[in-house]
Amino acid sequence: MKKLTYILAFTSLVSFAQQTPASKQTKSVLIMGGTAHLGNGKIQENCLISIVDGKIVSISDATVTKIGKHDVVIQADGKHIYPGFIAPNSTLGLVEIDAVRASDDESEIGEFNPHIRSVIAYNAESKLTEAARPNGVLLAQITPRGGRISGTSSVVQLDAWNWEDAIVRENDGIHMRWPNSYARSGWWAEPGGIEPNKRYDEQVKAVQLFFDNAFGYLKSDKKEKDIPYDAMNGIQNGQKTVYVNANGEKEINDIIIFKKKNNIKNLVIIGGYNAHKVADLLKENNVSVLLRRIHDVPNSEDEDVNLPYKIAKILTDKGIVVGLENSGDMERMQTRNIPFYAGTCAAWGMNKEDALKLITSNTAKILGIDAMYGTLENGKSATLFISEGDALNMKTNKLVYAFIDGRQISLESHQTELYERYKEKFEEQNTKSEVKQ
């Protein structure tokens, strides 16, 4: 009996194992034809893209450009080419099964944990990471949760053996959860009203005290090493970005004051539901926004029911750099839906190529990886994919090729294997039914 159990367990692992990461690119690739959505708001029809040693060495119009011989030629006529989509503020690879505590590495005990580096807990072989790739999500910012200062995030590409291989930008920023000025009373089954948070000022002072102590330590001779304070190094010179979770108008106003007081060079609002109410202030202070999941209902019953779909356009029209994030319920499973959030923004007023920037070039700029990722340009990483249709439309986004740093990656996953398995089952049943008739 034990022997049979071991065989079944092994068979299960083999059947649904993570796809083997692709090897470094050794053969040149030429993508011919197709419509290239460059990620910067522009489109290149009938495009030629040459990929050598993991980079785009040429991107041009096929009707006027002659390209030399390549090892691999991909005909993309009638298809669409996009830069790899980016999932910021993500916990991909940090939790595999919510109900299994041993697989949950998204948060740490304590209130002020800037030294907690989420990337060292990143599971590159997560099935949820694998499931995001077939929709074009090829990069993610692995981000900690919990506490007032949750920890330090890093940006990874989603085809690797381990976290070290996955790193695109290590320790890109520190994540905070700003206190709420108001709180709901009651509980989910019997919600009460909205009440002022009587401890709001006290909680903000605690955050400021930690920053004061950290910056004081960094300016001192540091005779006694303090690991949390050491992790705050790089905030004032722009090496690290401060990402602050906040949605309220008052909270965002207070965060701007906090940014100025502490000489924080790069600060990003995460969530930003009411950011459009203080858009001019955000623009004036060069603050970007990673907008919360837009497939949601309004916060207030007297707001436009479609407001969540429109906020990205309102902020973009004000000149603010906006990206889309996906934190919340079932966030890891829903990472694959990020392109369709951008599609919803396009359906509610944004130009489609501007909506694409919400999950490509804008997000790359916010995360500090825009020198190599986020757009299709000469000299940048060949992290891109080819779809049979519009990648922002769930009905037409069907990937046929995907590349990360020029490596052609597998688009197979647990879901695609199940699809093929049960597709055969129903085809057999239909055949038997037709024979009987």
Q: Please tell me the distance from the alpha carbon of residue 380 to that of residue 226, in angstroms, as a whole number.
A: 38
Q: Which ranges in the chain are annotated with CATH 3.20.20.140?
A: 87-373
Q: To which residue do tokens 């996955």 refer?
A: 166
User: How far, CA to CA in Å, does 74 sit from each of 212, 320, 406?
Assistant: 56, 37, 13
DSSP 3-state assignment of 191?
Answer: strand
Instruction: Order across the sheet with 55-61: list the strands.
Output: 55-61, 47-52, 29-32, 72-75
Answer whether 363's CB lies under 8 Å from 289's CB: no
CATH class of 87-373: alpha beta
Domain with CATH 2.30.40 in the chain: 2-82+412-436
| Cα–Cα dist 79/399, whole Å | 10
Reduced to 3 states, what is the DSSP secondary structure of residue 161? coil
DSSP assignment string, 350-367:
--HHHHHHTTTHHHHHHH
CA dist 34 and 45 (Å) reads: 7
Residues 6+ apart with CB under 8 A from 318: 276, 279, 280, 282, 283
Written as six digits, the tokens of 149 are 């200062």
CATH number of 2-82+412-436: 2.30.40
Please give the DSSP secondary-structure letter assigned to residue 336.
G
Global confidence as pTM = 0.91
pLDDT of residue 11: 38
Signed CA dihedral, 284, 290, 295, 301: sign only: negative
Q: What is the DSSP string of 76-110?
A: -TT-EEEEPEEEEEE-TTTBS-TT-GGGB-SB-SS
Backbone torsions φ then ψ of 33, nearest 5 degrees? 80, -170
The CA distance from 58 to 81, in Å, is 14
Element (H, E) at 227: helix 227-230
Regions in the chain scoring below 70 on pLDDT: 1-18, 188-189, 191-192, 434-437
Q: If you search the block for the tokens 């207070």, which residue do you land on?
A: 254
Q: pLDDT at position 437, please? A: 64
pLDDT of residue 10: 35
Distance of CA 81 to the CA centre of its chain: 19
Virtual torsion, Cα 65, 69, 74, 75, nearest 10 deg: 50
CB 49 within 8 A of CB 75: no
Residue 25's closest CA among 410, 409, 406, 411? Answer: 406
- Which helix (H) or strand (E) element contains residue 58? strand 55-61
The kind and range of the H/E element at 291 are strand 288-291
